[in-house]
Amino acid sequence: MSSEGRPTGVTILAILEAIAGVYYLATGFNVSIYRTLVRLAFGIASIDSIFVGAALIIIGLVSLFLAWGLWTGKGWARMTALVFAILSLIVSLISRNLFGLVIDLIIVYYLTRPNVKQFFTKK
């Protein structure tokens, strides 16, 4: 537990989610702006880069918002992270991604622990 009463694992999840959010934002800007400008400079019109980039930017913003919710102990953030982990678990099963499967199982297990649930119910 941290000095604020936040479980250490929640702190780790929030930081990792924030890093993912920054990564998605940077990738989205790279895809939508840089690649589109390069393609236009060479006369190759490409609207797909704008859509893919916009989607990545939206995912990045959602990830940052989720990271903030986890950090501050918002109940909706725990439920959202749990739903995302379950969806990711299903994808890991389908794609036979053993590493992803193990990580997703750990996250689902951790987010359902009583002390973690209690942290999110206080807010």
Structural domain that includes position 107: 74-115
- Tally Cβ neighbours within 10 Å of residue 46: 13
| Dihedral sign (CA 97, 83, 17, 73) | negative
Structure tokens at 74: 């918002």
Query: Do 83 and 48 share a domain, yes or no?
Result: no
Residue 77 pLDDT: 97
pTM: 0.84
Residue 3 pLDDT: 45
Number of domains in the chain: 2
* DSSP letter, residue 5: S
Residues 6+ apart with CB under 8 A from 95: none
Question: Is 105 part of any domain?
Answer: yes
Question: Is 122 part of any domain?
Answer: no
Query: Do 13 and 59 share a domain, yes or no?
Result: yes
Q: What is the pLDDT along the chain (123 residues), one digit of tens a residue?
A: 554 689 999 999 999 999 999 999 999 988 887 777 777 777 676 677 778 888 999 999 999 999 999 999 999 999 999 999 999 999 999 999 999 999 999 999 999 999 999 999 875
